Structure 1
Amino acid sequence: MHDLTGFQRDLLWAIGGLNEPHGLALKDVLEEYYGTEIHHGRLYPNLDTLVEKGVVKKGELDQRTNKYTLTDRGRRELRARRDWEDQYVAGLEGVESEAN
Protein backbone atom coordinates (compact mmCIF):
# COMPACT_ATOMS: atom_id res chain seq x y z
CA MET A 1 0.00 0.00 0.00
CA HIS A 2 3.05 2.21 0.38
CA ASP A 3 3.17 2.71 -3.39
CA LEU A 4 -0.43 3.99 -3.69
CA THR A 5 -1.33 7.64 -3.88
CA GLY A 6 -3.66 9.11 -1.26
CA PHE A 7 -6.44 9.19 -3.87
CA GLN A 8 -5.91 5.51 -4.64
CA ARG A 9 -6.03 4.66 -0.93
CA ASP A 10 -9.27 6.61 -0.60
CA LEU A 11 -10.68 4.67 -3.56
CA LEU A 12 -9.66 1.43 -1.90
CA TRP A 13 -11.42 2.41 1.34
CA ALA A 14 -14.54 3.44 -0.58
CA ILE A 15 -14.63 0.18 -2.52
CA GLY A 16 -14.26 -1.75 0.73
CA GLY A 17 -17.10 0.17 2.34
CA LEU A 18 -19.62 -0.28 -0.47
CA ASN A 19 -21.25 -3.37 -1.91
CA GLU A 20 -19.74 -3.94 -5.37
CA PRO A 21 -19.81 -0.25 -6.31
CA HIS A 22 -19.70 0.98 -9.89
CA GLY A 23 -17.54 3.89 -10.96
CA LEU A 24 -20.21 6.59 -10.62
CA ALA A 25 -21.05 5.47 -7.07
CA LEU A 26 -17.37 5.77 -6.16
CA LYS A 27 -17.22 9.15 -7.88
CA ASP A 28 -20.16 10.36 -5.76
CA VAL A 29 -18.60 9.14 -2.51
CA LEU A 30 -15.26 10.79 -3.26
CA GLU A 31 -16.84 14.02 -4.43
CA GLU A 32 -18.70 14.23 -1.15
CA TYR A 33 -15.52 13.53 0.81
CA TYR A 34 -13.26 15.90 -1.15
CA GLY A 35 -15.92 18.56 -1.66
CA THR A 36 -14.98 18.93 -5.30
CA GLU A 37 -15.75 17.31 -8.64
CA ILE A 38 -13.84 14.15 -9.50
CA HIS A 39 -13.31 13.92 -13.25
CA HIS A 40 -13.58 10.64 -15.12
CA GLY A 41 -10.02 11.17 -16.34
CA ARG A 42 -8.84 10.94 -12.75
CA LEU A 43 -11.18 8.26 -11.47
CA TYR A 44 -10.96 5.49 -14.04
CA PRO A 45 -7.17 5.44 -14.59
CA ASN A 46 -6.74 5.17 -10.82
CA LEU A 47 -9.26 2.33 -10.64
CA ASP A 48 -7.34 0.59 -13.45
CA THR A 49 -4.11 1.02 -11.47
CA LEU A 50 -5.71 -0.63 -8.43
CA VAL A 51 -6.81 -3.52 -10.64
CA GLU A 52 -3.29 -3.82 -12.12
CA LYS A 53 -1.78 -3.88 -8.62
CA GLY A 54 -4.08 -6.78 -7.68
CA VAL A 55 -5.90 -5.04 -4.83
CA VAL A 56 -9.19 -4.56 -6.71
CA LYS A 57 -11.11 -6.82 -9.07
CA LYS A 58 -13.15 -5.33 -11.90
CA GLY A 59 -16.26 -7.20 -13.00
CA GLU A 60 -19.25 -6.52 -15.17
CA LEU A 61 -22.47 -5.26 -13.60
CA ASP A 62 -24.14 -5.03 -16.99
CA GLN A 63 -22.96 -4.47 -20.57
CA ARG A 64 -22.15 -0.81 -19.90
CA THR A 65 -21.21 -0.74 -16.23
CA ASN A 66 -18.29 -2.21 -14.31
CA LYS A 67 -18.33 -3.10 -10.63
CA TYR A 68 -15.35 -3.11 -8.30
CA THR A 69 -14.57 -5.35 -5.33
CA LEU A 70 -11.56 -5.78 -3.08
CA THR A 71 -9.38 -8.80 -3.62
CA ASP A 72 -8.04 -10.78 -0.67
CA ARG A 73 -4.81 -8.82 -1.08
CA GLY A 74 -6.76 -5.55 -1.04
CA ARG A 75 -8.44 -6.53 2.24
CA ARG A 76 -5.08 -7.49 3.75
CA GLU A 77 -3.60 -4.17 2.62
CA LEU A 78 -6.45 -2.22 4.23
CA ARG A 79 -6.12 -4.15 7.49
CA ALA A 80 -2.37 -3.55 7.54
CA ARG A 81 -2.90 0.15 6.85
CA ARG A 82 -5.50 0.35 9.64
CA ASP A 83 -3.09 -1.32 12.07
CA TRP A 84 -0.36 1.15 11.09
CA GLU A 85 -2.71 4.14 11.48
CA ASP A 86 -3.97 2.89 14.85
CA GLN A 87 -0.44 3.09 16.26
CA TYR A 88 -0.42 6.82 15.66
CA VAL A 89 -4.05 7.57 16.38
CA ALA A 90 -3.62 6.05 19.84
CA GLY A 91 -0.85 8.57 20.47
CA LEU A 92 -3.19 11.44 19.62
CA GLU A 93 -5.52 10.68 22.51
CA GLY A 94 -3.07 12.16 24.99
CA VAL A 95 -2.47 15.17 22.76
CA GLU A 96 -6.20 15.89 22.46
CA SER A 97 -6.76 15.78 26.21
CA GLU A 98 -3.76 18.08 26.80
CA ALA A 99 -5.24 20.63 24.41
CA ASN A 100 -8.52 20.78 26.38
Structure 2
Amino acid sequence: MATQNAWLQAGLNVDDKAKRFSAYVKGFRKEMITLSLASGYRHPSQFTGDDIEFSAGVNRFSTLADVLDYRADPVSNEEVMAAVREAEAESVA
Protein backbone atom coordinates (compact mmCIF):
# COMPACT_ATOMS: atom_id res chain seq x y z
CA MET A 1 0.00 0.00 0.00
CA ALA A 2 1.17 3.51 -0.67
CA THR A 3 -0.20 6.86 0.37
CA GLN A 4 1.06 10.39 0.65
CA ASN A 5 -1.63 11.28 3.19
CA ALA A 6 -0.03 11.65 6.65
CA TRP A 7 -3.26 10.70 8.42
CA LEU A 8 -3.50 7.45 6.44
CA GLN A 9 0.21 6.73 6.93
CA ALA A 10 -0.24 6.94 10.69
CA GLY A 11 -2.78 4.12 10.52
CA LEU A 12 -0.44 1.72 8.71
CA ASN A 13 1.31 -0.85 10.85
CA VAL A 14 3.87 -2.19 8.38
CA ASP A 15 5.31 -4.86 10.69
CA ASP A 16 1.86 -6.28 11.43
CA LYS A 17 0.86 -6.23 7.76
CA ALA A 18 4.16 -7.88 6.75
CA LYS A 19 3.58 -10.74 9.19
CA ARG A 20 -0.02 -11.19 8.06
CA PHE A 21 0.94 -11.13 4.38
CA SER A 22 3.74 -13.61 4.98
CA ALA A 23 1.32 -15.99 6.74
CA TYR A 24 -1.14 -15.61 3.85
CA VAL A 25 1.49 -16.42 1.21
CA LYS A 26 2.77 -19.44 3.16
CA GLY A 27 -0.78 -20.76 3.56
CA PHE A 28 -1.57 -20.11 -0.10
CA ARG A 29 1.55 -22.01 -1.21
CA LYS A 30 0.66 -24.95 1.02
CA GLU A 31 -2.89 -25.07 -0.32
CA MET A 32 -1.69 -24.88 -3.94
CA ILE A 33 0.74 -27.77 -3.39
CA THR A 34 -2.01 -29.79 -1.66
CA LEU A 35 -4.41 -29.09 -4.54
CA SER A 36 -1.74 -30.04 -7.08
CA LEU A 37 -0.97 -33.35 -5.36
CA ALA A 38 -4.67 -34.17 -5.03
CA SER A 39 -5.03 -33.52 -8.77
CA GLY A 40 -2.18 -35.87 -9.66
CA TYR A 41 0.45 -33.19 -10.27
CA ARG A 42 3.71 -32.54 -8.46
CA HIS A 43 3.59 -28.76 -8.84
CA PRO A 44 0.97 -26.06 -9.59
CA SER A 45 2.78 -25.19 -12.84
CA GLN A 46 1.56 -28.48 -14.27
CA PHE A 47 -2.09 -27.40 -14.30
CA THR A 48 -3.49 -26.57 -17.72
CA GLY A 49 -6.45 -24.47 -18.75
CA ASP A 50 -8.36 -27.68 -19.40
CA ASP A 51 -8.07 -28.65 -15.71
CA ILE A 52 -10.09 -25.67 -14.48
CA GLU A 53 -13.78 -25.13 -15.22
CA PHE A 54 -15.94 -22.05 -14.78
CA SER A 55 -19.64 -22.19 -14.10
CA ALA A 56 -21.48 -19.80 -16.40
CA GLY A 57 -24.94 -20.67 -15.13
CA VAL A 58 -27.09 -23.70 -14.51
CA ASN A 59 -25.40 -26.68 -16.17
CA ARG A 60 -23.18 -24.37 -18.23
CA PHE A 61 -19.46 -24.96 -17.77
CA SER A 62 -16.45 -23.80 -19.77
CA THR A 63 -12.79 -24.59 -19.30
CA LEU A 64 -10.27 -21.87 -18.58
CA ALA A 65 -8.58 -22.69 -21.88
CA ASP A 66 -11.84 -22.06 -23.76
CA VAL A 67 -12.68 -18.85 -21.87
CA LEU A 68 -9.22 -17.30 -22.32
CA ASP A 69 -8.42 -19.02 -25.61
CA TYR A 70 -4.95 -19.80 -24.25
CA ARG A 71 -3.17 -23.11 -24.10
CA ALA A 72 0.16 -23.41 -22.29
CA ASP A 73 2.75 -26.02 -23.08
CA PRO A 74 2.58 -28.97 -20.68
CA VAL A 75 5.25 -29.18 -17.96
CA SER A 76 6.71 -32.60 -17.20
CA ASN A 77 7.66 -33.95 -13.77
CA GLU A 78 11.30 -33.91 -14.86
CA GLU A 79 11.12 -30.19 -15.69
CA VAL A 80 9.50 -29.46 -12.32
CA MET A 81 12.10 -31.41 -10.39
CA ALA A 82 14.96 -29.77 -12.33
CA ALA A 83 13.55 -26.33 -11.48
CA VAL A 84 13.19 -27.30 -7.80
CA ARG A 85 16.80 -28.54 -7.67
CA GLU A 86 18.00 -25.34 -9.35
CA ALA A 87 16.07 -23.15 -6.89
CA GLU A 88 17.42 -25.14 -3.92
CA ALA A 89 20.98 -24.77 -5.22
CA GLU A 90 20.52 -21.00 -5.60
CA SER A 91 19.11 -20.65 -2.09
CA VAL A 92 22.11 -22.47 -0.60
CA ALA A 93 24.68 -20.40 -2.52
Q: Report the TM-score, using the length of structure 2 for normalisation.
A: 0.26
Q: Report the TM-score, using the length of structure 1 for normalisation.
A: 0.25
Ranked by relative contact order (alpha carbons within 8 Å, sequence separation 6 or more), the top structure is 1
